[in-house]
Chains A and B, each alone.
Chain A
């Protein structure tokens, strides 16, 4: 088990390093960062001054190693655009994204699991159809459109929630609704199909036969086995939610990581882009490892298997 985790972590970290190296090179391919920073009124001389000031004239490999050295020493560098330490900027925005991500994830889970279980228990009934319809709708509706519609209805027509911004907790209501509806369908369907498989299994029939109450059969025997694929999926979904949604953050003017990443890419703010990629890579590594461990805890078969 320990060897398995260590190996997974090593591979994941190598992936993270490769990604950061690639992104570093890609930014240079997307145009000269010095010209981007000099802005649309910048002359060639202004761009040259920027190039020298930020060291963009050095070989990319040197610049990359420079960055890596800083990070290993705990310094994420300074934002070219904001002229502030990257850590300060990211810290301010990561909080918003984490809150939004966890809330949306929790809501999605709260809806998806009971809905999936009920749909599986009453397979092909009207309940099942409605639940599936609800999920398909969530998958099909573009989240920016749903966001704008919710803004029109609840922000403009009824005026009961803030339209944008996260100055108060009420500002989180609409973005959490939209994000969770975006994450929910896959989770609901996985729960449903997992439950359907399990409900037909021999041990569930045995549990029923020995006279256990229905709810106990469902929760203790069926669900425990049905959630294994859900956990792996949830790790991915949570990763997506925690990395910040460019679309949702833009629509609701939420100042989180997704938009920071997007804007920083557009303005060639290399240190910020690199820091975000690093953080996201770490989040994914942590989540996948966590889901493996939870699966192992829930399922003795995984625990016993030699990695």
Chain B
């Protein structure tokens, strides 16, 4: 889902803030009183089968219900045991997992190797239609060694395997899953997670209750808050009103200008996330007949855009200008790279030297990005003589045109599935696939080596080379990393994480 699905036509945040001061109604924050966390999303969550969810909303809910074999502690960056007690690589393409005993599903069933085997062997089949192939296509098969031991046979080396097993590939109870399939799990989600779903109107309202038998030693721990109610409220202004009157405890993705106005009344947190904004250049667009094919033109374009001013004006919070085609928080995202400072005069000189002294016209589509940001980029480029024909399109339409090689520049964003490893961004854009409109063989090889090597040092070395060359050649104009503004009930303790996964099981009341 786009990060900015709608722009509120009017703001009542300021009005509400003023109202709150003049009408000092008793702050009846209901959430704490009845131990219920009331949260809202603007977009409708998808059905709660994690393997088919694209949007973050549904994935957040699913992670409260289901557990994976492993878990990533984002504070330390370590992968820790979850449903698997321990694991080891037993060969270049095999991993063995010893499973935890005494784990119960919400329906009372015991967790065993059968659940792991049934779940993973089902979701890797093409007929199942797992949403993102990258998440499971590295699994060849899963074998049961005994009731509490399984082996995963990999179909190819994949450096992101362990990251994927860390809560992104949940384990379903085998009997229920075999009987109901994806639809059954979505209708009646059963997991081992810290919360169980007790009621749902799909896409509209979800009620969760703490699962008292959640296994001892879970990295998610025992939640402090007993109930969670999640509703879909599409209009942000309505969310603010609910939050201020104490009927909501948690909202997110508040636009920066609104966030500052809400601060007087509720707790507003801004936290950086993995998602980054970028302008992708396509030297191969239109059969290579584009000024973008000239590296100096690309470099000049980056020099021409005052990215710092854009970040200050529109992104705010924890956002920073990027120089790399990845988030510096990701493993393998080399930061010692060529940079292009804002220098419109230099940009003009470079364009003149490249034979474009009179400027040129270029089409740029932006999708899932705020219009003002795209307009600011176009305005800066206009100052050096580049006439940007700006087009806002739905993400699908924009990407379709990009993949058809009809678009020299595409302005959008990429979330890396919230995972702190460049394997989830570089290979998509520079690994030789349909989104790679650079087709730099050297970069492709480095990226592929980095994606498949098991040694961290080998991975780092290859990614470093790839990232450096991408910066040198200015294949991308990296823009900035996103931040998310959360609006919270002042009584609620909530820690945001850079992967955009809300962990309500860690929340508590003050």
Please tell me if B242 contacts chain A, counting CB pairs below 8 Å: yes
Residues of A in contact (CB 8 Å), total 48
Q: How far is the CA of A97 from the CA of B47 in the complex (A)?
A: 23
Q: Using known A-B contacts A43-B134, A43-B435, determine if residue A36 contacts B242 with beta carbons closer than 8 Å.
A: no
Q: Using known A-B contacts A41-B54, A43-B433, A82-B202, determine if residue A35 contacts B245 with beta carbons closer than 8 Å.
A: no
Q: How far is the CA of A83 from the CA of B54 in the complex (A)?
A: 13
Please tell me if B360 contacts chain A, counting CB pairs below 8 Å: no
Residues of chain B from 1 to 50 with CB closer than 8 A to chain A in the complex: 1-2, 5, 9-10, 12, 15-16, 19-20, 23, 25, 44, 46-47, 49
B-facing mask of A263-286, CB < 8 A → 1, else 0?
100101000000000000000000
Q: How far is the CA of A153 from the CA of B413 in the complex (A)?
A: 38
For B54, list chain A residues within 8 Å (CB). 37-42
Please tell me if B244 contacts chain A, counting CB pairs below 8 Å: yes
Q: Are A41 and B16 within 8 A (Cβ)?
A: no
Residues of chain B from 447 to 485 with CB closer than 8 A to chain A in the complex: none
Q: Are A82 and B397 within 8 A (Cβ)?
A: no
Q: Are B396 and A41 within 8 A (Cβ)?
A: no
Q: Are B245 and A155 within 8 A (Cβ)?
A: yes
B-facing mask of A45-71, CB < 8 A → 1, else 0?
110011001000000000000000000
For B20, list chain A residues within 8 Å (CB). 156
The contact of B233 among A36, A41, A253, by CB within 8 Å, is: A253
Q: Are A164 and B238 within 8 A (Cβ)?
A: yes
For A163, list chain B residues within 8 Å (CB). 238, 241-242, 245, 247
A-facing mask of B403-424, CB < 8 A → 1, else 0?
1000000001111110000000
Please tell me if B373 contacts chain A, counting CB pairs below 8 Å: no
Instruction: Report B415 CB to chain A, min CB distance, Å.
Output: 6
How many contacts between A and B, using CB within 8 angstroms? Answer: 154
**Chain A, residue nearest B20 (CB):** A156
**Chain A, residue nearest B9 (CB):** A144
Residues of chain B from 108 to 138 with CB closer than 8 A to chain A in the complex: 126, 129, 131-134
Q: Are B393 and A31 within 8 A (Cβ)?
A: yes
The contact of B10 among A35, A38, A84, A145, by CB within 8 Å, is: A145
Q: Are B183 and A92 within 8 A (Cβ)?
A: no
Please tell me if B201 contacts chain A, counting CB pairs below 8 Å: yes
Instruction: Report B203 CB to chain A, min CB distance, Å.
Output: 6
Please tell me if B359 contacts chain A, counting CB pairs below 8 Å: no
Please tell me if B320 contacts chain A, counting CB pairs below 8 Å: no
Instruction: Report A112 CB to chain B, min CB distance, Å.
Output: 27
Please tell me if A259 contacts chain B, counting CB pairs below 8 Å: yes
Residues of chain A from 237 to 275 with CB closer than 8 A to chain B in the complex: 250-253, 255, 259, 263, 266, 268
Q: How far is the CA of A49 from the CA of B245 in the complex (A)?
A: 46
Please tell me if B155 contacts chain A, counting CB pairs below 8 Å: no
Please tell me if B356 contacts chain A, counting CB pairs below 8 Å: no
**Chain B, residue nearest A33 (CB):** B396
Residues of chain A from 23 to 38 with CB closer than 8 A to chain B in the complex: 30-38
**Chain A, residue nearest B137 (CB):** A45
The contact of B16 among A37, A50, A152, A266, by CB within 8 Å, is: A152
Main secondary structure, interface of A, reads: helix
Q: How far is the CA of A151 from the CA of B182 in the complex (A)?
A: 39
Q: Are A82 and B133 within 8 A (Cβ)?
A: no
Please tell me if B395 contacts chain A, counting CB pairs below 8 Å: yes
Q: Are B231 and A253 within 8 A (Cβ)?
A: yes
Q: How far is the CA of A33 from the CA of B131 in the complex (A)?
A: 14
Q: How far is the CA of A144 from the CA of B47 in the complex (A)?
A: 29
Please tell me if A4 contacts chain B, counting CB pairs below 8 Å: no
Instruction: Report A162 CB to chain B, min CB distance, Å.
Output: 8
Q: Using known A-B contacts A41-B415, A46-B132, determine if residue A35 contacts B395 with beta carbons closer than 8 Å.
A: yes
Please tell me if A148 contacts chain B, counting CB pairs below 8 Å: yes
Q: How far is the CA of A44 from the CA of B400 in the complex (A)?
A: 9
Q: Using known A-B contacts A41-B415, A42-B132, A53-B129, determine if residue A255 contacts B204 with beta carbons closer than 8 Å.
A: yes
Instruction: Report A268 CB to chain B, min CB distance, Å.
Output: 7
B-facing mask of A78-116, CB < 8 A → 1, else 0?
000111100001001000000000000000000000000
Please tell me if A165 contacts chain B, counting CB pairs below 8 Å: yes
Please tell me if B52 contacts chain A, counting CB pairs below 8 Å: yes
User: Most chain-B Cβ atoms within 10 A of its Cβ — which of A36, A40, A83?
Assistant: A40
For A33, list chain B residues within 8 Å (CB). 396
Q: Are B133 and A45 within 8 A (Cβ)?
A: yes
Q: How far is the CA of A46 from the CA of B136 in the complex (A)?
A: 12
Q: Are B395 and A148 within 8 A (Cβ)?
A: no
Q: Using known A-B contacts A31-B400, A250-B234, determine if residue A83 contacts B394 with beta carbons closer than 8 Å.
A: no
Residues of chain B from 131 to 175 with CB closer than 8 A to chain A in the complex: 131-134
**Chain A, residue nearest B436 (CB):** A44
**Chain B, residue nearest A264 (CB):** B44
**Chain A, residue nearest B3 (CB):** A40
Q: Are B12 and A148 within 8 A (Cβ)?
A: yes
Please tell me if A157 contacts chain B, counting CB pairs below 8 Å: yes
Q: Are A252 and B1 within 8 A (Cβ)?
A: no
- List 14 contacting pairs A-B, 8 Å CB cutoff, sorted by A: A30-B396, A32-B396, A39-B1, A40-B368, A40-B415, A42-B131, A45-B133, A49-B126, A144-B235, A156-B23, A156-B241, A164-B233, A253-B234, A255-B203
Given A30-B396, A144-B10, A251-B235, 16 new contacts (CB under 8 A):
A31-B393, A39-B54, A41-B415, A43-B133, A43-B428, A45-B434, A46-B132, A49-B126, A82-B47, A144-B9, A145-B10, A148-B237, A157-B19, A159-B25, A164-B233, A165-B231
A-B pairs, top 8 by smallest CB distance, nearest first, are: A39-B54, A44-B434, A31-B397, A36-B396, A31-B396, A35-B396, A253-B233, A250-B234
